[in-house]
Amino acid sequence: MRAAVIIPVYNHEARVAEVIREARQLALPIFVVDDGSTDSTPAILAGQEGITVLRHPVNRGKGAALLTGFAAAAPTCDYALTIDADGQHNPADGLALLAIARQGARVLVVGNRQGMAQEHVPWTSRFGRGFSNFWVWASGGPRVADSQSGFRLYPLPETLNLGVQAQRYQFEVEVLVLAHRSGIAIAEVPVSVVYQPKGVRISHFRPWQDFLRNSATFCRLICDRLFRMGRRR
């Protein structure tokens, strides 16, 4: 099984070098997609050896960055292991996700973050996960425990052929729905999570703006599901 690590980055100057260092322990090709960073992230990436750096001139969103990484990895890889650049994930946990895929079936594996009740986890993350889990299911997707986890293993090229429209954080929920509808198996494995204290934690999530974007995405998916059900009748 050929796999690559994809790390989407946007203004993560404080953490990205450490994330890359830890991801190297997986001994996989590493593609870092700089989604229009305006801090010192480009200079930090330029000093990293043995990785492939892809860059968007302007910020296009996490989903767009992931798709850029997938397209770059697809000619040589069967799977893409996605790791956030904020230090929330332990790249070593990626071995558990890879182990599921090595069993033979083509599968999309989601890292189910444990410890979401710890002290520094913002309420928006806890509420958002439950909200998203329900609406992913209501939209015709799978029943999962952590639909917002960015620590995943995606099968390539199947994911690229799903036609996901969302380009920002909403990519990660829409891809679950479309993958499930397309017959791609979805699996979850427990992974650890680290949330730094407020003021240290790096997050570009905007609660109200992204809530509205999530709602719009789910409305579109539900309408599409109802339309499909009507046509089958």
Contacts for 118 with CB less than 8 Å, ≥ 6 apart = 195
pLDDT at 119: 62
SS3 166: coil
Question: Which tens digit of pLDDT belongs to each residue from 52-73?
Answer: 999 999 999 999 999 999 999 9
Instruction: Tell me phi and psi for residue 232, to 5 degrees.
Output: -65, -30
Residues in the chain: 233
Distances in Å between the Cα of 65 and the Cα atoms of 29, 124, 125, 185 are 17, 23, 22, 24
pLDDT at 22: 97
Residue with the two structure tokens 């996989």:
28
Least confident of 150-159, 174-183, 202-211: 202-211
The mean pLDDT value for 181-205 works out to: 79
Q: What is the pTM of this model?
A: 0.88
The mean pLDDT value for 32-47 works out to: 97
Q: Which two tokens stand for residue 25?
A: 């322990």
Question: Which tens digit of pLDDT belongs to each residue from 16-38?
Answer: 999 999 999 999 999 999 999 99
State yes or no: pLDDT of 120 exceeds 60.
no
- Measure CA of the first residue to CA of the last residue in the chain; give whole Å: 41
pLDDT at 165: 94
Q: What band does 76 get if pLDDT is binned at 50, 70 and 90?
A: very high
pLDDT at 209: 72
CATH homologous superfamily of 3-232: Spore Coat Polysaccharide Biosynthesis Protein SpsA; Chain A (3.90.550.10)
Where are the chain's structural domains? 3-232
Task: Specify the pairing of strand 107-113 against strand 152-155.
Answer: antiparallel
Distance, in Å, from the CA atom of 33 to the CA atom of 53, rounded to the nearest integer, reads 6
- HEC profile for 68-87? HHHHHHCCCCCEEEECCCCC
State yes or no: pLDDT of 105 exceeds 90.
no
Contacts for 17 with CB less than 8 Å, ≥ 6 apart = 44, 48
pLDDT at 123: 52
Q: What is the mean pLDDT of the chain?
A: 89
Distance, in Å, from the CA atom of 161 to the CA atom of 29, rounded to the nearest integer, reads 22
pLDDT at 5: 98
State yes or no: pLDDT of 216 exceeds 90.
no
